Amino acid sequence: MFYKKFIVIMIVFAGFLYLVGGKYLAGKNDNIAEISSEVNVYSSRKEALVSELFDEFTAETGIKVNFIIDKAPKLLERLKSEGKNSPADLFLTSDVGNLQKASDLGLLRPIKSKILNENIPENLRDDEGRWFGLSRRVRAIFYAKDRVNPEQLSTYEDLADEKWRGKILIRSSSNIYNQSLLASLIEVNGEDAARKWVKGLVANMARKPQGGDTDQLRALAAGQGDIAVANSYYYGRLQASSKEKDQQVADKIAIFFPNQMGRGAHVNISGGGLTTSSKNLTNAIKLLEFLSNPSSQEFYAQVNHEFPISKEITVSNTIKNWGSFQADSSNLLKFSRYLNKSIKISDEEGWR
């Protein structure tokens, strides 16, 4: 009889230790915990922009980071097809559009983290904790210094004015950066005005959309157009490059921040979220928190010339030379709901 009671007591005690241990591992995140020494990441950010931070995280915590690098659409399809069996714990990508798509597809799960909420402003994170911004970038206008007076430039809306007929360089509407920009115009000006804007933009294109943002800047410097639309950090990379051909491109063009008399320049993010398939919840949250801390923000600011989330972090010297500007501080969720509509309008109005 005593032996049976002893066995029961030991089983209950073991269960108690498991629960207490799990609670300790969960810390302040209020999420289910597990015992693991690794975390798996699907990232559309280039390896050079994440591997060093992953190594620092491993050195600090002892948690190994396994990661796969690919284009965001391919990673989203992979997460969908793998479903609950996906090994991915974190999804890292550029643009709120990709993060919101993952969220809408049910691929990201809400998490609670005091650290993330403190490090990341409310307008740059999902209100349910499904994704969080980790760095900022501006979708800016660039102009050829020898052909355009910056006083001619004003707003994104002005890009549809016929004075720019045959002079605008911009990549395809299939690109998420442009989808988000148009979604923001739908949110601010309405669907009819946004459709009219796309018509004007298409009419003003210097060539059929092709290539990425850097290709638009190179074409601008080569005289294939007078103004271009691109994310700010692509220009920063050219300016900071040690290659003479990049310096030549950067010297011929300049950056302009639109809508300074109104809502400010369109801001987007790179960021990440916890996958619904995650088996290493605690480690994944720890990594996401690590990527939001000041040293990680400093890394993105200095290496990729992005704007840090925190205003206390110093931008790169390259960005400092651009001068101050007003950025749109609207909540990114406000326009992310119009992403599908922006794709539909672009297709219907000939922006390929």
pLDDT of residue 35: 62
**177: amino acid identity, one letter:** Y
State the CATH number of the domain containing residue 38.
3.40.190.10
Half-sphere exposure at residue 208, Cβ-oriented, CA atoms within 13 angstroms: 2
Distance (Å, whole) CA 174 – CA 76: 15
> How far, in Å, are 48, 206, 240, 308 from residue 303 at the CA level?
9, 32, 9, 11
Has residue 262 been placed in a domain?
A: yes
In a domain, 11, yes or no: no
Report the candidate in 144, 164, 176, 167 with the shortest Cα–Cα distance to residue 254.
Answer: 144
Do 97 and 176 contact (CB within 8 A), yes or no?
Answer: yes
User: Residue 3: inside a domain, yes or no?
Assistant: no
Higher-confidence position of 13 and 187: 187
Mean per-residue pLDDT, 88-93: 98
Does a structural domain hold residue 241? yes
Residue 35, domain member (yes or no): yes
Residue 145: CB partners within 8 Å, gap ≥ 6? 252, 253, 254
First to last CA, the chain: 80
| 170 and 91 belong to one structural domain | no
Structure confidence at residue 3 (pLDDT): 46
Query: Which is nearest to 266 in space by CA: 159, 344, 144, 164?
Result: 159
Each residue's pLDDT tens digit, 278-314: 999 999 999 999 999 999 999 999 999 999 998 889 9
Question: Which tens digits make up the pLDDT trace of 94-153?
Answer: 999 999 999 999 999 999 999 999 999 999 999 999 999 999 999 999 999 999 999 999
Q: Which residue has the tokens 């209950």?
A: 12
Judged against a pLDDT cut of 60, whether residue 22 lies above it is answered with: no
Q: Per-residue pLDDT averaged across 343-347, rounded? A: 97
Q: What is the predicted pLDDT for the residue at 20?
A: 37
For the cut 60, the answer to whether the pLDDT of residue 18 exceeds it is: no
Do 184 and 131 belong together in one domain?
A: no
Tell me which H or E stretch contains 142: strand 132-144
DSSP helix/strand/coil, 180: helix
Residues in a beta bridge with 230: 140
- List CB contacts of 212: < 8 A, sequence separation 6 or more: 171, 175, 234
Q: Is residue 67 part of a domain?
A: yes
Whether the full predicted model's pTM is greater than 0.85, yes or no, is yes
Contact present, 271 and 93 (Cβ < 8 Å): yes
The domain in which residue 78 lies consists of: 31-135+279-318
Alpha-helical (H) ranges within the chain are 2-26, 51-61, 72-82, 96-104, 114-119, 176-189, 191-203, 213-221, 232-240, 244-252, 281-291, 294-303, 317-320, 333-336, 339-348
Q: Hey, what are 161's tokens? A: 């004015």
Contact 130, 108 (CB under 8 A): yes
Check whether residue 252 and residue 142 sit in a common domain.
Answer: yes
CA distance 190 to 108: 29
> Same domain, yes or no, for 336 and 290?
no
Give 233's Cβ-side CA count (13 Å radius). 21
Same domain for 141 and 130: no
- Confidence (pLDDT) at 33: 45
- Is residue 135 helix, strand or coil? strand
154 and 257 in a single domain? The answer is yes
Asked, for residue 148, whether it belongs to a domain, the answer is: yes
pLDDT confidence of residue 66:
98
Q: What is the pLDDT of residue 312?
A: 84
**How many CB atoms are closer than 10 A to CB 146?**
9
**294-303 vs 51-61: helix crossing angle, rounded to 10:** 160
Which pLDDT tens digit goes with each residue over 152-204?
A: 999 999 999 999 999 999 999 999 999 999 999 999 999 999 999 999 999 99
**CA dihedral (178, 268, 76, 58) positive or negative:** positive
Write the pLDDT tens digit of every residue in 331-341: 999 999 999 99
Q: Is the pLDDT of residue 266 over 50?
A: yes
Indicate whether 65 and 179 sit together in one domain. Answer: no
**Residues 24-64: tens digit of each pLDDT:** 333 344 444 456 799 999 999 999 899 999 999 999 999 99
Tokens of 55: 């190594």
- State whether 193 and 335 are in the same domain: yes
Beta partners for residue 229, in sequence order: 141
Output the pLDDT for position 34: 54
Residue 323 CB burial class (10 angstroms; 0-12, 13-18, ≥19): exposed
Residues 146 and 175 in one domain: yes
Joined together, the tokens standing for residue 145 give: 């210094």
Pairing of strands 38-43, 90-94: parallel
Residue 137: exposure state from Cβ atoms within 10 A (0-12, 13-18, ≥19): buried
Residue 13 domain-assigned (yes or no):
no
Residue 161 and residue 88 in one domain: no
Q: State whether 259 and 288 are in the same domain.
A: no
| Number of structural domains in the chain | 2
The sign one gets for the Cα dihedral 279, 282, 285, 291 is negative
How many CB atoms are located within 10 Å of the residue 12 CB?
Answer: 9
Residue 21 reports pLDDT greater than 60: no
